[in-house]
Amino acid sequence: MATEALILAGVDALYGESHVLHAVDVCLKEKQVLALLGRNGAGKTTCMNTIIGWLKPRGGEIRLFGEPIARLAPEAIARKGVGLVPQGRRVFPKLTVEENLVVSARNGKWNRNAVFDLFPRLQERKGQYAGSLSGGEQQMLAIGRALMGNPRVLLLDEPSEGLAPIIVAEVGRTIARLKAEGQSIVLVEQNVQLALELADEVAVLNTGRIAFAGDVRTFSKDEALITQHLGVF
């Protein structure tokens, strides 16, 4: 039976007086991909921000391989082994590619050479300022920077957003490779087809509540459910 890498149990989160997450239950198993889906405004990014510690939950528990992390500071959560590729990439534009990678480095299998093997284009551009890179290259850099922290759980928030189809396919191949190498991943993605191709499990948020949680095959066969909560099929 697969180990539970990340669990959210009854998590509530608020922005001021606005109640955004309502008793959210989510489980990511080790070495699997959990796709967190939902329409815009459903609470997906809030969920990611709560896991990483940027937003403190008002209730419930978050456990990383059984260890409570909900009350820790973001830097402590990162040290425990949670890495985030944020929506919009957020690379450091005035640092070089190499400097962006080094700034988050922790001991482990992921180092500069490993990231350059994963993304050869970053090696070609290692001396360039990150702000001068294309959107696709910045996304590669954001993923590489997160991997340099050698996370036990990797959070990917809309990694295909704003990218050309050929680059989306490359990002998809990268995620598939990471999964094959045993990386545990939570994937927030508006590209439903991409998400379902990569995921083992699916959780669907609707106005901050879990509307579905289960395996990807069950979800993929339910056209009505997909249309109701995602508006696509």
Q: Is the pLDDT assigned to residue 28 strictly greater than 80?
A: yes
Task: Report the pLDDT value the prediction gives residue 232, as an integer from 0 to 100.
Answer: 57
23 φψ region: left (φ > 0), alpha (ψ -120 to 50), beta (else): left
Q: Are 45 and 92 in contact (CB under 8 A)?
A: no
Give first-to-last CA distance, the chain, whole Å.
Answer: 32
Do 19 and 208 meet the contact criterion of CB atoms below 8 Å apart?
yes
Structure tokens belonging to residue 115:
């990231």
pLDDT of residue 233: 47
Out of 36-45, 167-176, 199-208, 218-227, least confident range: 218-227
Give the closest residue to 152 by CA, choosing from 74, 77, 202. Answer: 77
Beta strands at 82-85 and 153-157: parallel, antiparallel or unpaired: parallel
pLDDT bucket at 148, cuts 50 / 70 / 90 = very high
Question: How many whole angstroms separate alpha carbon 228 and alpha carbon 215?
Answer: 18
**Do residues 196 and 35 touch, judged by C-beta distance below 8 A?**
yes
As a whole number of angstroms, the distance between CA 38 and CA 210 comes to 10
Phi, psi angle pair for 32, to nearest 5°: -120, 170
Residue 67 DSSP code = E
Residue 173: count of CB within 10 angstroms of its CB: 11
pLDDT at 17: 85
Query: For strand 201-206 and strand 33-37, is the pairing parallel, antiparallel, or unpaired?
Result: parallel
Better pLDDT: 151 or 131? 151
**Contact by Cβ (8 Å): 25, 59:** no
Quote the pLDDT of residue 1: 65
**pLDDT at 147 (0 to 100):** 97
SS3 call for 176: helix
The confidence score (pLDDT) of residue 224 equals: 83
127 CB-contact burial (10 Å; exposed 0-12 / middle 13-18 / buried 19+): exposed
Structure confidence at residue 41 as a pLDDT band (50, 70, 90): confident
Average pLDDT, the chain: 93
Distance, CA of 75 to CA of 53 (rounded, Å): 8
pLDDT digits (tens, 9 = 90+) for 75-91: 999 999 999 998 877 89
Q: What is the mean pLDDT of residues 106-133?
A: 93
Give me the mean pLDDT over the 12-18 stretch.
90
Question: What is the residue-wise DSSP string for 91-118?
Answer: --TTSBHHHHHHTT--SSS--HHHHHHH
CB 81 within 8 A of CB 51: no
